[in-house]
Structure formats: structure tokens, C-alpha cells
Chain A
């Protein structure tokens, strides 16, 4: 029996080939565009999250209590080296870095600006977040009073490679202290905070300058994706301020939410288009075949078989559209994942908002599974009204009309 229904559905699906083909193309194109948008949106956010984690906050960061409220050297972790060793032995921890931080004034001969001095261990930062990938200009080198500055800070102070700068701040004793530095590199992290104000120096140099010891740190940043790690660390260090990425970067959370809304709206629009497309083609197709359905009913075909046939017809159209869209979308996403979209023409505006000029897409299986479910649902929903018409069909009227 189901063989007959399948045959009827399959053959009727292609009764008006040009019309069905147009709907299939419409579904395929709109779906592939939606997949591309989803992939690009996600890629954009993923890229920003990734760079923020690598350049600053990690997946989890630990601070002394009060430090985030009052960025004073007093609120530093005084046994950071021990904690680091402890963390490195914990399951789920992939990398740990210590950072020494102090806010102050960065001056050239002509200009001054607020800046955040960050003492880092370059080798560890490379392992932690591939620091060298942020290099925009110069050479990553912090030896001999070397410094690396954020790109926006460099623009503000008109710094070049080799420029001399002086950073002034209060040390642990409360005295104003200054350090002369040579700009060796300019970095672009797309982390707005860092690009606008960071000046990186060697961590040992920063200890010497600020009067802290190698056991001290203002921030311990940790890489580790395990969900339980955060809770574990909170329990392990109750006297410290343990924060996960999204708590440290509420803007990122907001951006993720905005992207989810963008994707959902795009998804709904595309599914609306799919629904209207299939509804249109199925409605016309069913109305054209009222006589055929009337004959089937009069011959004794139960309504449930007709319903199954019509559902199958709409699924065939939806499924073919889906397959076309999935293939086209996958090809486009693979291309954009590899080569990205080059928006260098708008790089200034994009970078101001923390985006890169070349945006790479991401590919998730969920794009395809969710779309599959939605297209099948839209296909099934689109024939409810035509089916209601068939249910009300009086075969005698159809036969009478035939005479």
C-alpha cells in the first residue's frame, strides 16, 4: 500500500516540473544564504571570543578579592606561583599564565595617555594564546626595556617601532615611579581594552619596576574548556575572585545573545519563505487535482492515505530544496571558513568595534540538523490548509462536475 502512496507522491511531485523546480531553487538559495549568515555571524563572535580569551581573560581568571573593583597593587595575589603550580596539576587545565598589571600614564616627548602596564612572560603567553599572532608591526621582543603596545594606543601617541616612551605609576610603596621603554612591536588583539591602552613588558621587569616579587600577580589566567573546572576552582580558592570568561567580558555575552537573535530572525524569515513557497506550490497542485482526489475517495481510498500522499509530496519538495541548500551552503561555508570574507575596505570601522577585517565563517552540524527539522516542519505545516479542503471534498460534486 505504502509503495503505491510513495509512487503517487513522487510522480505527482514532478507533475509541474518547472514550478516545483523553481520552489526547490528558492528553498535551496534562501537556505544556503541563511547557513552562510549563520556561519559568518558565529564565526565573527567565535573569533572575537577566541581572541579575547587568548589575549586577556582565558576561559577563567583568578584575581585577588577587591582587585577588579579597585585596581590597586595592594590587591594582588601574593602566592601566585604556588597557585599556578597547583593549577597546572589540575585535570582540565590546559595552560596558565601570571600577569602583573598596573594602570598609569604613558608619555612620549609630546603626548601622554592613560595606559595599562601588563607584565607578561612571552614564552608562556605564546603557549597560552599564541601572542605572536597579534603582531601588527615590529618584532616580539621584550628584552632590554622592550615594550609592545596596543595598536590604538600607538595611534593615540603616534608611536612607531623604536619610539621611546616613559610609563609612570605608583609602586607598592605608594611612590611614583617611572620606567623608560622602547617600542619593539605594535599588536592588534581586537580586544578593544587592550588595543586602546595596553603596554606589555617583561614580567620580571614589571616586578622590579613595581616592587612586587615573582610570587605576586594581579591576574592568573587559565585555559580549559571543561564546564566543571570553573566550579572546581571556585571551591578550591574561596578567598580569591574566580571569574569565568563571560563574567569578565559581559559585552561578549551581549554580542553572543545579539547574534543568537540575528540568527533566529534570519532563520524565521527563511523558514517563512520556505513555508510560503511550499504552501503556494502545494495549494495550486492540490487544487488542480481535486478531481483526482475525489475519484480516489469514491473508489474507496481512505482519507489517511490521501493525507499521507500529500504530506509526502510536500516533504519531497522540502527535502530536495533542503538537499540543494545544504550542498550549496556547505560549499560556501567551507570556502568562507578557509578564505573568509575580506572587508578590508571597512577595516577601520570594523576594528573600532573589535571585529577583524577578514571574517571567517564557522561550520556546525547543528546548522544542518536544525534546518532539516525546520524545513520538514514547514513542509508538513504548509499542506494543512489544502488538506482541510480535501477533507471537505464531496466526491459526488467532483464526479458531477465532470459530466
Chain B
């Protein structure tokens, strides 16, 4: 469970160009939820994702992951938290170009110290699920955009994190690939009971998620389950 209490975030604080990016955000995201943060550009959805994902800190308020408060963690502790509890899917795939698909998928698992045999087994499992098991030895630049994003999802899922944060994962994909990817993520969400949080304004994602949180000017304007 993720709990946000009165979370505020400012950019350029104290300067004339100050931006109040998140305003008194109060949210509870239960384990296994398939949630979308939506809203117009600049509404704070990516900032909210970054704050939940411990990539960024908030200026006031508290964030709890399970029962643990993560707002006051040091840089090193945040890195460690991301490694052990989170998975990330970015808009631009962001695979490591010198590693092949198998190595990219197993990257986080290797950082976490899983054994070679566990990594191999799990990589094959998620790759099969995401239908990229025939590309394991390929380098990322030999794959299509859709395949690369599936590798990114596989990397995020492989180490079985509690939460996956996906920022505009379909922005660079065509509708067919987007549909396949979201379908696969939905399946992973159900099979592995991983909370998946999207920041996107993709209609396809909107139709697929179970909960939609709408942000406007950094504040929660609407929050409903479907």
C-alpha cells in the first residue's frame, strides 16, 4: 500500500518563477491496483510518479510505502528503495545499449544479487509472457519500438517489485503495439499482484486501468475506480 498525506512539491521555490507542482496530495493506493494519473500537460502527473517512486523528494507532507515513511530518506536509501521495491518503465524505453535483451531484463535482478540460475529462469519466464523470448540475445537497437518497450516492462517486472511506475509508456508506440503492451501489463498486474501506476493521457490506458486519478494544476481533481 502507498499512502500520500498532504504532499506538496515546488519547483524553483522562492524564485519569481516558482511552480507549485503538487498541492496537498492525499492518496491511498492499495497493493495490486492498476492506476492511471491523468491530466493535461504540466498538471504534475510525472512529478507525482517521481515522488512516489523515490526519484524525487517532496517539500512537505508524508509518503508511506507499506508502513515505512519514505519522505525523509537519504539519497542512498532512496536508491536502495528503488532497487528493491520499485520498477520503472519510461517513455523512451531507456534500455542499456551494450547489453542484450536477456542482460537488460536481468539487470535489476543482478543488482539485487539474485543467483545466475534464478535470473535465467525468471528472465525466460517474463520474456515468454511478453513474447520476446526469441529476442533474448539481440541488442536493443536491433528491436522495434514495441519490442524495446516490452523489454523495458520485462526489466521492471523481473525482480518482482511491489510497484511499477510507468511514465507515458505508450507515447512512442503505435496503437497496435500500445494495445499489446497494456494488455501484457494488465496480465502481469493480475498474475504477479504488482501495483502499476501510469502517468499518461493515452485513451487506451484510460480504458484499461481500474482507477483513474485526475490531476489539475498539481491537485487531485478527481479520483474514481472503474
Across the interface, do A292 and B97 meet the contact criterion of CB distance under 8 Å? Answer: yes
Q: Which of B70-103 contact A (CB under 8 A)?
A: 76, 79-84, 86, 88, 90-92, 94, 96-99, 103
Q: List the B side residues contacting A11 at CB < 8 Å.
A: 98-99
Q: Which of A163-171, A256-264, A300-308 contacts B (4 or more CB under 8 A)?
A: A300-308
Across the interface, do A302 and B80 meet the contact criterion of CB distance under 8 Å? Answer: yes
- Smallest beta-carbon distance B88→chain A, Å: 6
Q: Which residue of A lies closest to B86 (CB)?
A: A300
* Known A395-B55, A402-B91: A300·B79 in contact at CB below 8 Å: yes
Q: Which residue of B lies closest to A14 (CB)?
A: B98
Return the contact of B55 from the options A1, A15, A298, A403 (Cβ within 8 A).
A298
Most A CB contacts (10 A, CB to CB) among B50, B94, B103, B108 go to B94
* Known A300-B82, A301-B83, A302-B76: A295·B94 in contact at CB below 8 Å: yes
Q: Which of A280-309 contact B (CB under 8 A)?
A: 291-292, 295-303, 305
Q: List the B side residues contacting A212 at CB < 8 Å.
A: none
B37 contacts the other chain (CB 8 A): no
Across the interface, do B91 and A403 meet the contact criterion of CB distance under 8 Å? Answer: yes
Return the contact of A298 from the options B84, B88, B91, B97 (Cβ within 8 A).
B88
Q: Which of A210-255 contact B (CB under 8 A)?
A: none
Q: Which of A29-85 contact B (CB under 8 A)?
A: none
Across the interface, do A4 and B76 meet the contact criterion of CB distance under 8 Å? Answer: no
Q: Which residue of A lies closest to B82 (CB)?
A: A300
Return the contact of A403 from the options B86, B111, B113, B168 (Cβ within 8 A).
B168
A7 contacts the other chain (CB 8 A): yes
Number of A-B residue pairs at CB separation under 8 A:
71
Q: List the A side residues contacting B111 at CB < 8 Å.
A: 1, 4, 299-301, 305
Q: List the B side residues contacting A295 at CB < 8 Å.
A: 90, 94, 96
A177 contacts the other chain (CB 8 A): no
Bound: A399/B81 CA distance, A = 19
Across the interface, do B103 and A7 meet the contact criterion of CB distance under 8 Å? Answer: yes
Bound: A303/B90 CA distance, A = 21
Across the interface, do B98 and A8 meet the contact criterion of CB distance under 8 Å? Answer: yes
Q: List the B side residues contacting A292 at CB < 8 Å.
A: 96-97
A396 contacts the other chain (CB 8 A): yes
Across the interface, do A396 and B92 meet the contact criterion of CB distance under 8 Å? Answer: no
Across the interface, do B91 and A299 meet the contact criterion of CB distance under 8 Å? Answer: no
Q: List the B side residues contacting A396 at CB < 8 Å.
A: 50, 55-56
Q: List the A side residues contacting B98 at CB < 8 Å.
A: 8, 11-12, 15
B33 contacts the other chain (CB 8 A): no
Most B CB contacts (10 A, CB to CB) among A8, A291, A298, A402 go to A298
Across the interface, do A399 and B90 meet the contact criterion of CB distance under 8 Å? Answer: yes
Q: Which of A171-197 contact B (CB under 8 A)?
A: none
B201 contacts the other chain (CB 8 A): no
Bound: A402/B55 CA distance, A = 15
Bound: A297/B108 CA distance, A = 11
Across the interface, do B76 and A299 meet the contact criterion of CB distance under 8 Å? Answer: no
* Known A300-B83, A301-B111: A402·B76 in contact at CB below 8 Å: no
- Smallest beta-carbon distance B116→chain A, Å: 9
Q: List the B side residues contacting A8 at CB < 8 Å.
A: 96, 98-99
Bound: A4/B111 CA distance, A = 8
Across the interface, do B55 and A300 meet the contact criterion of CB distance under 8 Å? Answer: no
- Smallest beta-carbon distance A297→chain B, Å: 7
Q: Which residue of A lies closest to B83 (CB)?
A: A300
Q: List the B side residues contacting A298 at CB < 8 Å.
A: 55, 82, 88
* Known A292-B97, A396-B56: A299·B103 in contact at CB below 8 Å: no
Q: Which residue of A lies closest to B78 (CB)?
A: A300
- Smallest beta-carbon distance A387→chain B, Å: 16
Across the interface, do B99 and A299 meet the contact criterion of CB distance under 8 Å? Answer: no
- Smallest beta-carbon distance A399→chain B, Å: 6
Bound: A292/B96 CA distance, A = 6
Q: Which residue of B lies closest to A8 (CB)?
A: B98
Most A CB contacts (10 A, CB to CB) among B79, B98, B99, B108 go to B98
Q: List the A side residues contacting B46 at CB < 8 Å.
A: 400
B34 contacts the other chain (CB 8 A): no
Q: Which of B90-133 contact A (CB under 8 A)?
A: 90-92, 94, 96-99, 103, 107-108, 110-111, 113
Bound: A292/B94 CA distance, A = 7
Bound: A400/B80 CA distance, A = 22
Across the interface, do A4 and B92 meet the contact criterion of CB distance under 8 Å? Answer: no
A-B contact pairs, 18 of them (CB 8 A): A4-B103, A4-B111, A8-B96, A12-B98, A298-B82, A299-B88, A299-B107, A300-B79, A300-B80, A300-B81, A301-B79, A301-B83, A301-B111, A399-B94, A399-B167, A400-B46, A402-B92, A403-B171
The 6 closest A-B pairs by CB, nearest first: A300-B83, A11-B98, A300-B82, A295-B94, A402-B92, A4-B110
A positions within 8 Å CB-CB of B: 1, 3-4, 7-8, 11-12, 15, 291-292, 295-303, 305, 395-396, 399-400, 402-403
Q: A4-B103, A403-B92 are in contact. List 7 more A-B contacts (CB 8 A).
A: A15-B98, A298-B55, A298-B88, A300-B83, A396-B55, A402-B92, A403-B91
